[in-house]
Amino acid sequence: MTAADGTVSRGRAADAVTAALEAQISSGALAPNSPLPAERDLMEQFGTSRTVIREAISILANRGLVESKPRFRPVVRKPDYESALHAVSGVVRHLLADQGGVKNLYQSRLFIERALVREAAVSADKQDIADLKQALAANQAAISDSLEFYRTDTAFHGALYRVIRNPIFPAIHEGYTAWLAPHWSKMLRSPERNAMNYRAHEAIMNAILERDPAAAEAALTEHLNAAWEHVRVTFNIDKL
C-alpha cells in the first residue's frame, strides 16, 4: 500500500490513518466534543477499507483522543492529562488485582501527598489557603452526611494537588480517587469516623497555616496511615 507521503508501509495502513486523524485533532480541524465523521465517509476520505478505519478509530480511542461508546459516534476529545490517566486505567485494573497492587498505589499516594502538604506549608499563597479553607469548611459541614463527606474529603485532598501549579497533579489525584474508590467505599463511614477524619484535615490545615512543613507532613502521614490501617484490619486486604 502507498501512503500519502509516498512511502510504502509494509505494516499497518491503520497507523497512517491514525496519524492523519491525530493531526486533524491536534490542529483543531476536528474540534473537541464534536463527533468524528462517519466511518464510511472516512474510508472515502482516506481511500481505504472500513477495516483499517475502524482499527484507526480503535487506536485513537485507546489513546484517549476520541471517546467511543458502543453504537454512538466517537467524540473527539482534547488530549489532556485526564485522558492520559484514562488510557492507563485498563492496565491499572490488572495491577491492582495483583499482589500488593493496592498497597503500592496507596503508598505512592501517601508519598506524593506528603510532599504536597510540605510544599503547601512552604509556599501556599493566599488563593491556595482560601481554597483549602473553603474545602475544609465544606468538609466540616458534611460530617453528618457520609456520602457528602466522602465527596468533600476527596475535594480537600484535591485542593492539595492544586497548590503546585501543574495540571499533571490534579490528574494524578483523579487517578487515585478513581482507582482507590472501590476500596475506600469499603470503609465503614460513620459520623464518628467522619469527625475523626475531619480533625485530621484540620490538623493538616493548621500546620500549613503555621508554615510548618514537618508538622503538615506528620499530620498527613498519620491521617492516611490511620485510614489505611482501618481498611486493612477491617477487611484484611494485606495481600492486595
Partner DNA sequence: CTTTCATTTTGGTCCTACCATATAATTTCT
Partner DNA sequence: AGAAATTATATGGTAGGACCAAAATGAAAG
- Binding residues (CB under 7 A) for DNA: these are 1, 9-14, 36, 38-41, 47-52, 54-55, 68, 70-74
Q: Which of its own copies, DNA, none does residue 136 bind (CB under 5 to 8 Å by kind)? A: none
88 binds its own copies (CB under 8 A): yes
CB 79 within 8 A of CB 65: yes
CB of 11 to its own copies, least distance (A): 3
Q: Which of DNA, its own copies, none does residue 88 bind (CB under 5 to 8 Å by kind)? A: its own copies
Among 59, 132, 143, 200, binds its own copies (CB under 8 A): 59
Q: Which of its own copies, DNA, none does residue 146 bind (CB under 5 to 8 Å by kind)? A: none
Q: Which of its own copies, DNA, none does residue 40 bind (CB under 5 to 8 Å by kind)? A: DNA
Q: Which of its own copies, DNA, none does residue 107 bind (CB under 5 to 8 Å by kind)? A: its own copies
CB 224 within 8 A of CB 112: no
If the CB atoms of residues 52 and 105 are measured against DNA, the closer one turns out to be 52
* String marking each residue 148-177 x if it binds its own copies according to CB under 8 A: ----------------x-xxxx--------
Separation CA 143–CA 14 (nearest Å): 53
C-alpha count within 13 angstroms, C-beta hemisphere, residue 16: 21
* String marking each residue 112-141 x if it binds its own copies according to CB under 8 A: x-xx--xx----------------------
**35: β partners:** 75
If the CB atoms of residues 3 and 129 are measured against DNA, the closer one turns out to be 3
CB of 71 to its own copies, least distance (A): 7
| Residues contributing to the site for its own copies (CB under 8 A) | 10-12, 22, 26, 51, 54-55, 58-59, 62-65, 70-71, 79-81, 83-85, 87-88, 90-92, 94-95, 97-98, 104-105, 107-108, 111-112, 114-115, 118-119, 164, 166-169
